[in-house]
Amino acid sequence: MSAGPFYRVSIDDIAPRYLGRGFTAEEGVPPAAVDEAQRRLGVRIPASLAYRQAGRCTALNALHHRLYAPSELRIDGGYLVFMDENQTVVSWGFRTTDCGEDDPTVWQRNNTPRHEWYSEDKPFTRFLTGMFDWYVEMGMLRR
């Protein structure tokens, strides 16, 4: 399920909406790091992860849940795992079969025995803005 224009608008709006500024050049990950991760994993990293624009933005990517750096991405049970909950109780990923999409559906895995994956029923950009809205509600992030 590709989110089309929503994806392009959301990534461009995330920094001003949640940080009150644009992403800086230093907050982006060099394209070579993303390319190397894609070669190592054998899958395309969905564009919505926005590593080139915001992969090093610790104000958002390590505030509570932690987005993996491209070098930390891994494939586990047919999923590209890209983020852990702050206590590693759950992880989030994309089905590797969906990695060709720009903004694929996010899946959550409980990291306690049975280790089952459950769909979040939303593309990454909607998942991300929902997570940041929750940060705002909890007082972890000020707009």
Give residue 14's pLDDT: 86
Please state, in angstroms and rounded to a whole number, the distance separating the CA atoms of residues 81 and 67.
9
Give residue 2's pLDDT: 42
Name beta bridge partners: 105.
123
Give residue 51's pLDDT: 93
Q: Report the CATH architecture of 5-137.
A: 3-Layer(aba) Sandwich (3.40)
Give residue 9's pLDDT: 46
Please state, in angstroms and rounded to a whole number, the distance separating the CA atoms of residues 8 and 4.
7
Query: What letter would DSSP give residue 141?
Result: S
Give residue 3's pLDDT: 41
Judge contact between 56 and 70, C-beta under 8 A. no
CA 47 remoteness from chain centre: 10
Strand bridging mode 105-110 / 117-123: antiparallel
CA 2 remoteness from chain centre: 15
User: Average pLDDT for residues 94-120, to the nearest whole number?
Assistant: 94
When the pLDDT of each residue in the chain is averaged and rounded to a whole number, the result is: 89
Give residue 10's pLDDT: 61
37-60 pLDDT, tens per residue? 999 999 999 999 999 999 999 888
Q: Is the pLDDT of residue 104 over 70?
A: yes
Give residue 143's pLDDT: 65
132-141 pLDDT, tens per residue? 999 999 998 8
